[in-house]
Amino acid sequence: MSIVEQSSVEAAGADARFVLDDALPLTGVIRSLGRSVIEVQQCTPRRAAVRIDPERTVEVASALLAMPYMRLATATAVEVRDGLDVLYHWAFEPPVPPDKAGGDGCVLTVKVLQQRGSSLESIANVVPAANWIEREMHEMLGVKFHNHPDLRRLLLDDSWPEGVHPLRKGFDQVLDRPPLPPNRTTDMAAPAPAPSPAMAPPSAPPASGKPRRSMVNIGPFHPLQEEAEFFQLYVEGETVVDVDVRLSFNHRGIEKLDESKTFDQVPFVVERVCGICSASHPLAYIQAVEEIAHVQVPERALYLRTIVNELERLHSHLLWVGLAGHFLGYNTVFMWAWKYREPVMDVLEAVTGSRCNYANCKIGGVRRDMSREQLEHIDSACAGLVGPMEMLTQAVLDDPVLHARLKKVGVLTPQAAKEFGALGPTARGSGLPIDVRRDDPYAAYDRVDWKVITASGGDVFSKAVVRLLESFEAVKIIRQCVKEIPGGPIDAKVEAIPPGEGVGHVEAPRGETFHYVRSDGTNRPVRHKVRAPSYNNIPTFKASCIGLQIPDVAITLASVDPCYSCTERMCVIRDAETRKPLYTFGELVRLSQLKTQHIREKG
């Protein structure tokens, strides 16, 4: 990564001037930031970083959010010599010309240094998508923000001691273990958080007088939400006027664990972030590492990656449609969707060896090739899905009960979708035509013909339509890849990873999966940041659930296809009665390894 300097483009200060190639998509964006920029780093033609004046953080964030085709993807905090470096990653996705297969999407990283003893101005008041990630950086790494609208605990237990930050390099999971807590508090008796400008306004009270505000709990265990989560609905009568959430019941320590793994071991860890996105997470991580090492992946490997990722998209979308039908009492849809999902799972098992956690992607390519017989099996299975999927789609689109139940329910406006950084079908269901596969092409997506599916309603029905129609596009992509896959090697044979930093983002079934990796030239990452799509999509409840009736909230929450475990990354196991720790982190790792060894010996 080189710092480019000495040119005619004024960036910051009287003498700060930098070379910016007019042909690069991010040049105009960087120039528009003017004197806020202190330093420019051109990583690749599609990746750039700017260091800005910490006093202008909010000003720069406001300017970027106001730009067309710009959204906040996530943020990262990294320990450096002078303090903590906060990196806000912005995705720029301009429209794709009709004559191009892929767009000029880029990632601009805005770097802000929080020097020791100082604090940074929060951008969450102007960019709602920054709310959760700033809270996470505050508790996990100790970044200090002032004027943040809500700095309550997000991931750590309420009893966790102040000043102990698990992702700091000096943290020791044994020596720094927090004292035994009382039962975890969940702010059950707390009032609703004060409304912020980012929230939708509460519904108007009835003309006869304002009813008493009360609270309704969803979770921590609820049959509609498959994982542990805790939503608090603040209601006036039957109308929801505010919502709060508490997650982090199932932490697993993935980001911390990755720092102790070699670059080649990390993919096996991150594919377990989510069982439904176990192709997307490794690929995003691997693309970030390949960016650092400037790896040229063989063409055949790109096609093989695409096939597995689109099979995973089919598996995920059919699973969601089936669950949605079940939750709505339409069990025929549930049985159909899951019946036709089985051939997809069988194909994944046949070509990777597993129905999930495929372990087929590696730095520089893929681990296993596919024979012509396997490719023909994939093509045959996908061709056989088209008829059943058409029947399933018509059953949903033509059903008047589903129209009445799902249309105009949980509406997420395009503006709210952008402000909260909504991703995938959640964003495309609100009319935002964003899709990393097209906007910032990777694998073989710019080598085949397909289209981005959108719907304009922004409601639960629109999200269902997007997923159903995207399934047909997935079949189209897979069959083209099978037909056009070239011969040749499947692995670039990467020997070492040099110092540097890289980002990788992949369009997972739920939306963009974003990974940031920093290397110091050793065989392990210095920092690895994982941001799953649910991390951005879940907070949209602040915009979509306000004003709903209580029965509509659960299906609205489920419409984003939330994966709560994707957002959670550390673990403590305690006895339910005594609250005493049962296992340390190291013991959990040891037990997992012993179980794996036992399975191998038995098999």
pLDDT, tens digit (0-9, with 9 covering 90-100), for 308-349? 999 999 999 999 999 888 888 888 999 999 999 999 999 999
Pairing mode of beta strands 106-115, 47-52: parallel
- Tell me, yes or no, whether 329 and 437 share the same domain: yes
Distance set, CA 539 to CA 53, 192, 421, 458, 594 (Å) = 29, 15, 9, 15, 38
- Rounded CA-CA distance 560/412 in Å is 11
- Are 232 and 295 in a shared domain? no
Residues 223 and 264 in one domain: no
Domain boundary among 146, 163, 191: 146
Residue 355 sits in the same domain as residue 241: no
116/220 same-domain check: no
Residue % of the chain over a pLDDT of 70: 84
Phi, psi of 582 (to 5 degrees): -95, -35
**Least confident stretch, 7-16, 160-169, 466-475:** 7-16
CB 137 within 8 A of CB 143: yes
Task: Flag whether 233 is in a domain.
Answer: yes
- Residue 292, pLDDT > 90, answer yes
pTM: 0.86
State the pLDDT at residue 14. 31
> Which pLDDT score, from 0 to 100, does residue 437 have?
97
Indicate if 56 and 78 belong to the same structural domain: yes
Alpha helices in 214-353 (DSSP H): 254-258, 266-270, 280-293, 299-327, 331-352
How high is the pLDDT of residue 383? 96
Q: Which of 17-21, 254-258, 377-381 has the lowest mean pLDDT?
A: 17-21
Contact 155, 248 (CB under 8 A): yes
Q: Which residues pair with 491 in a beta bridge?
A: 365
Per-residue pLDDT averaged across 586-590, rounded?
Answer: 67
Per-residue pLDDT band for 203 (boundaries 50, 70, 90) equals very low
Domain contains 192: no
What is the per-residue pLDDT across 342-367, written as a single tens digit (0 to 9) for each?
999 999 999 999 888 899 999 999 99
Q: The domain spanning residue 492 has which CATH number?
A: 1.10.645.10
User: Is the pLDDT assigned to residue 202 strictly greater than 50?
Assistant: no
Residue 190: other Cβ atoms inside 10 A: 12
Tens digits of residue pLDDT in 481-498: 999 999 999 999 899 999
Is residue 58 a part of any domain in this protein? Answer: yes
10 in a structural domain? yes
Q: What is the pLDDT of residue 223?
A: 66
pLDDT at 251: 66
Q: Is residue 259 part of a domain?
A: yes
Cα dist from 82 to 319, 379, 581, whole Å? 48, 55, 36
Q: In the listed set 115, 146, 177, which residue is the last one of a domain according to the structure? A: 146
Average pLDDT in the chain? 85
Q: Identify the CA nearest to 256 among candidates 140, 138, 167, 139.
A: 167
Is residue 207 classed exposed, middle or buried when 0-12, 13-18 and 19+ CB atoms within 10 A define those classes? exposed
* 8-state DSSP, 358: -
- How many distinct structural domains can be found in the chain? 3
Q: How confident is the model at residue 191 (pLDDT cuts 50, 70, 90)?
A: very low
Q: What is the pLDDT of residue 1?
A: 34
For residue 190, what pLDDT is reported?
Answer: 35
Does pLDDT of 503 surpass 50?
yes
DSSP secondary structure of 476-505? HHHHHHHHH---S-SB-------SEEEEEE
175 lies in a domain?
A: no
> Helix 280-293 and helix 299-327: axis angle, to 10°?
150
Phi then psi for residue 578, to 5 deg, are: -85, -20
Q: Where is pLDDT greater, at 578 or 281?
A: 281
CA-based nearest residue to 285, from 440, 504, 498: 504
User: Do 393 and 468 lie in a common domain?
Assistant: yes
Using CB atoms within 10 Å of the CB of residue 2, give its burial: 0 to 12 exposed, 13 to 18 middle, 19+ buried: exposed
Domain that holds residue 584: 213-248+569-602
Contacts of 148 (CB under 8 A, 6+ apart): 122, 124, 125, 131, 134, 135, 138
The answer to whether residues 234 and 267 belong to one domain is: no
pLDDT above 90 (res 18): no
Does 21 map to a domain? yes
Give pLDDT, residue 159: 73
Which amino acid is present at 27?
T
3-state SS assignment for residue 52: strand
pLDDT, tens only, 205-262: 334 445 678 988 887 777 666 677 888 899 998 899 999 888 777 667 788 889 999 9
CATH at 36? 3.30.460.80
Same domain, 229 and 279: no
Non-local (6+) Cβ contacts of 526 within 8 A are 78, 259, 518, 519, 520
Which tokens in the block code for residue 354?
A: 């597993």
Q: Do the domain assignments include residue 174? A: no
Percent of the chain at pLDDT > 90 equals 62
pLDDT at 195: 40
Same domain, 432 and 351: yes
> Rounded CA gap, 124 and 300, in Å?
43
What is residue 462's predicted lDDT score, i.e. its pLDDT?
97
Q: By C-alpha distance, which of 9, 18, 56, 33 is closest to 108?
A: 33
Mean pLDDT of 93-110: 90
Residue 75 in this model has a pLDDT that exceeds 80: yes
232 near 242, Cβ under 8 Å?
no
Q: Indicate whether 365 and 433 sit together in one domain.
A: yes
Out of 102, 131, 146, a domain closes at 146
Q: What is the Cα–Cα distance from 175 to 266, expressed in whole angstroms?
A: 26
Q: Are residues 243 and 266 in the same domain?
A: no
Residue 574 pLDDT > 80:
no
- Angle between the 299-327 and 331-352 helix axes, to the nearest 10 degrees? 160
Q: Where are the alpha helices (DSSP H) in 81-150?
A: 130-141
Residue 424 CB partners (closer than 8 Å, separation 6+): 507, 508, 509, 510, 511, 512, 533, 537
Q: For 538-541, which contacts have Cβ atoms below 8 Å and span 24 or more sequence positions?
A: 538/245, 538/247, 538/562, 538/564, 538/567, 539/128, 539/129, 539/131, 539/132, 539/245, 539/420, 540/412, 540/416, 540/417, 540/420, 540/422, 540/426, 541/231, 541/243, 541/245
pLDDT of residue 204: 35
